[in-house]
Structure 1
């Protein structure tokens, strides 16, 4: 406390303001952070619960639709007929193939050894003995050779093959029914469709994998296809059996699930129809066609299915989007290296990616809820879980999103608060310093105002902070500044007006010299070109028109000529009555001053022609041009006038007087400069001074200009 008492009043005030301000910032920021976390968590809980429910309904409806389709097609008359036809044909093939030749046997053995076994080994990462997969039944060997080995289409497209074209009953049945079942598979998105007789023989399949024509009672008796077959065979008509996903060897050990229904002809069981579910269709439903963000799952959210064995039944978003990042993530979890390699080889997380967290047990026990857990990638997530109502399997559905993404806005808020707090502390420090100084030295702002005013700032107003004596002083100061500002503005306005008047009366270079105080301007130019122009019929026009209209025409003509002088680099000297005097090369030295004057003269005739057309008058113009020396300067004291003098001016005037209407006359001095640019015609001599004769030429360019 003693240390605090030793501080100055300014330091005490600053310390108190900083303590109160920083404390307020900390409390508000903390409450905002906590409230933001709670609000975001609640919002995402509701969102995940809604998404989980929507996806659950969608996948349940999908499987219910599958059941209905299997039930309908299993009882369809065409399916019953196909089942009976393929069964009978299969039995005949068995009879006809009792002595299958060595070509078919060797060809089939080569297929298993050179194609199937290497592909299966690549998928499983294990050595494969191809001989154990070679079917023992001669009928199976015959059909597999004809429909698999001799099939011209690669794996995945074998369904396009309609048969070998022989005359066996099987080929006839296949040719008749295969297009129907192939269309069913393609239209409804199945992976495969099977017809299985009462002896467990797969007498037909669409995809023609190595389960085709084999018996489910022997080699593949332990497969889930055999399991679903046995279940369906024991049931009444209309029953649909389903088995969970397992690695299915005929599909190169890919995950496969099946549905099956018994086929009855009346009350007689004639076989079983089974479908192999498409993993792609289930993934399409669960991933929303891989448009997770559009489903409201952001950058890291996903919805997936987990089976009773706590492994996935739909593919991982991380594996689909960025496989490298996915494998890096699972490498840091408890998953073993062999399992990771299997995921990489099979290119799916179905049956291969374990999902181990407390929500799995809860959901499998029929519970639903939302919890924060560590996901299969080892990342903390908000997870919404529930059990799916799909007969035949015990699956759960999980919707989850990374906590980092959920609380990203809060993290951004926290960073902004820290940055803002740092800025606020700095501002508060400055404000405290300012308030302390204002409290101790209230006259500082007036002093600063006087300093700024002395430095030339015309708007050095100060803020009136109070109604006391200092406030009155500030008001008086502001009044003084305002009067000073108005006076300076008036001076600036007058200066601009004077500038405009000077530029209107004199060339820019002369006006600049006059502004600097040079009242007597006198210059001598050795080489300029002077043009004298005379507007003819002007007097007659003024007599025929009202004075106002005549003046309006004259002003328009002079304005157009003035604009033309500027565009051609010619300086206007003066207008007197109907005469117009201009020069080029005077204020600004120009090598081509003669050409500029001739071009200006030619345009002047066009200007007169335009005036005549617009006003329905008959003005004409004659022009005289001469090149030589002139003297230029200002005359007068009360009223300055800028003019040019010399023989060149007099000669140009005489040349103009000698010119015919609508013509340009020039002297020989002009012709010498421009003989290679224009066509000149001699018209005679004039005598500008007694005893002095000059040749005069007409410029032959006007006719071409008027024509163009």
Structure 2
């Protein structure tokens, strides 16, 4: 055998070199480039943010300083206003005119008090309080008012109000009258001194000027309100802030001392707030009375609103200053109410103010003691602190706020100056815009490139995310475009398959839940069904006042013998469905049914005071249904029903197979009542008969023995017309 070389296998040759599969998307290089660009952009943003924070803080400090300056200016103006009010009251009380007026009005008042009251005049005054004043005060406060509680009980008070109060339709007419022409000493004093106090009231803008004697009687009123002649110690306004200020001023017994009373609802002003400044009137060191002026609301508002010149005083379009009392209620008017009442009402209610308070503010044109201010600024100011902060104001707007206590003796008020942050920080927005523009030129190219690349890369993922969010929100059958990328296409296809599967399963589960819900509700009340679905093991309910109806369809067994099983059950279902409809109309709940029995209750699931009447009327309608059915079908069916009222227990029995049932003495007795009689009819126990109206006649039908004794049984006579529940 000759040696021959074994040929070696030739290497496998490719017909052509395969080209790599092209895939759209980003390469690692592109991702790295984006990361580098992101770092560059992020660095620019960090620098911009630092500059923004520093610049914003500086500009915000300037805005706060401006509000603090405005707050201090308004605070000084308010302090000066109250100082001028106190000085005006003090000087008026110390001059000779007030001394003479106090003695003259007091003497005239005492003279009237000693006179015999005029019966006709007293009747007119009483009628005015009973009809006119009570109606006006009730309309203003929204509460029922007994006018007799405010009627004057003294002779002088009734006399003065008859001549100076009830003849005038409004206070503007009353203040211009100098003399009622009745010839009394009080009218003579009024004709002499009233022009002075009327001028004082009008020039100073006071709401009213009162004069009181040392016994607490209001012996003079410029506007002749219903408080004229009343006594602040035992009269209808003894609990008012005026009475408290008067007592404090008289107890101090300091001639030139002025007591300031904070605003509070005042009935003579139809429940509108009134504040007072009270000082004693003395003659040669002897206190002969007191002078009280009602604080001028318009002058306070004028100071706080700077006469409407908001922009001129640095408050721009949204800035304002206002006063707040310890009760966190405004003591001045809101700028928004003054500028646009309708917009104020909507914003205030949206921010939490009661609609009634907002409507009353619009009606009265004032937020005095109506608008609640409950922010942190007011709380800090009431605790004695002064400062600034950013918070939501009483209209729900983010605002810069400067707050401080108000330096007025006798008034525990605070003052607030505020401006919305949107307006106050406009310089911050300008600064931010300039900062952004200055840095945008350096990074605009890399940002655009990064955005384009990022959009190409994440667009399919965003579609998947949006589709997933739609599914999470409850949408079904959501599909996404698969695209051309192998990996993302696989993910999209898998997502679409999952979405279709979830849709199918959701529909199956929903249909099954509806079927289960209907099945459960068909044999147990909704309340027990809810407990059953939540996994309760022992579900029972004790009811003390329930009327039980145990009804048999007499004659149905004989009728069913002549029918097939399907036909018999169809007819029975028709009757039971008609019974159920009648039960729903009368407020009766079906408990269970058998082939010819129907157990129901009234007052079990829904307590009803008239459950006995409803149950009897239900039984009467069942009897009518069977009578009508017998006539239509040519058969003879009747109703034998037993009814009893009392305590029953209902619940679910069993675990593997749950049954809803009801038991108790009332159930047992209802069964016995209908079972002891062979004749059709509606039989009720004494407990049911006692609760029936006279429109449902009953007649004795015998007795039945029970564990608690013999029970009388009555038979209901069907009335001509059945009243449905």
Q: TM-score, normalised by structure 1?
A: 0.55
Residue deviations 1:285-306 (CA, integer Å, cap 9, x gap):
1111122222211222211111
Give runs of aligned pairs for residues 207-356 of structure 1, distance below 5 A: 207-218=223-234, 219-234=236-251, 235-344=253-362, 346-356=364-374
1:46, 1:67 → 2: CA distance? 32
- Asked whether the equivalents of residues 243 and 259 of structure 1 are also in contact (C-alpha less than 8 Å), the reply is yes
Matched, 1:70 2:89: yes
SS at match of 2:318: coil
Give runs of aligned pairs for residues 49-64 of structure 1, distance below 5 A: 49-64=68-83
1:161, 1:174 → 2: CA distance? 9
Matched, 1:135 2:162: no
Give runs of aligned pairs for residues 286-685 of structure 1, distance below 5 A: 286-344=304-362, 346-411=364-429, 414=432
Matched, 1:176 2:192: yes
2:150, 2:448 → 1: CA distance? 86
- Asked whether the equivalents of residues 148 and 158 of structure 1 are also in contact (C-alpha less than 8 Å), the reply is yes
1:224, 1:6 → 2: CA distance? 80
2:365, 2:277 → 1: CA distance? 24
Matched, 1:93 2:109: no
1:80, 1:73 → 2: CA distance? 9
Residue deviations 1:478-502 (CA, integer Å, cap 9, x gap):
xxxxxxxxxxxxxxxxxxxxxxxxx
Matched, 1:126 2:126: no
- CA distance 1:419–1:179, shift in 2 (3 Å): same
State the 1:417 CA deviation: 6.5
SS at match of 2:91: helix
- Asked whether the equivalents of residues 83 and 270 of structure 1 are also in contact (C-alpha less than 8 Å), the reply is yes
- Asked whether the equivalents of residues 124 and 346 of structure 1 are also in contact (C-alpha less than 8 Å), the reply is no
1:95, 1:183 → 2: CA distance? 31
State the 1:418 CA deviation: 6.3
Greater shift, 381-390 or 106-115, is seen at: 106-115
- Asked whether the equivalents of residues 260 and 275 of structure 1 are also in contact (C-alpha less than 8 Å), the reply is yes
State the 1:393 CA deviation: 1.8
Q: Quote the residue 1:685 is aligned against.
A: none
- CA distance 1:181–1:25, shift in 2 (3 Å): same
- CA distance 1:328–1:177, shift in 2 (3 Å): same
- Asked whether the equivalents of residues 123 and 346 of structure 1 are also in contact (C-alpha less than 8 Å), the reply is no
Matched, 1:148 2:157: no
- Asked whether the equivalents of residues 345 and 359 of structure 2 are also in contact (C-alpha less than 8 Å), the reply is no
State the 1:116 CA deviation: 2.6
Q: Quote the residue 2:126 is aligned against.
A: 109
SS at match of 1:289: helix
1:418, 1:122 → 2: CA distance? 59
Residue deviations 1:401-436 (CA, integer Å, cap 9, x gap):
2222222343455567768877887789999xxxxx
SS at match of 1:190: coil
Residue deviations 1:643-671 (CA, integer Å, cap 9, x gap):
xxxxxxxxxxxxxxxxxxxxxxxxxxxxx
Structure 1: gaps (5+ residues): 432-708
Greater shift, 31-40 or 174-183, is seen at: 31-40
2:126, 2:101 → 1: CA distance? 30
State the 1:148 CA deviation: 1.6
- Asked whether the equivalents of residues 18 and 425 of structure 1 are also in contact (C-alpha less than 8 Å), the reply is no
- Asked whether the equivalents of residues 124 and 345 of structure 1 are also in contact (C-alpha less than 8 Å), the reply is no
- CA distance 1:34–1:162, shift in 2 (3 Å): same
Please identify the structure whose Cα radius of gyration is greater.
1
- CA distance 1:381–1:16, shift in 2 (3 Å): closer
1:54, 1:71 → 2: CA distance? 26
SS at match of 1:67: helix
- CA distance 1:17–1:69, shift in 2 (3 Å): same
Matched, 1:196 2:215: no
- Asked whether the equivalents of residues 382 and 402 of structure 1 are also in contact (C-alpha less than 8 Å), the reply is yes
State the 1:274 CA deviation: 0.6
- CA distance 1:100–1:405, shift in 2 (3 Å): same
2:448, 2:229 → 1: CA distance? 89
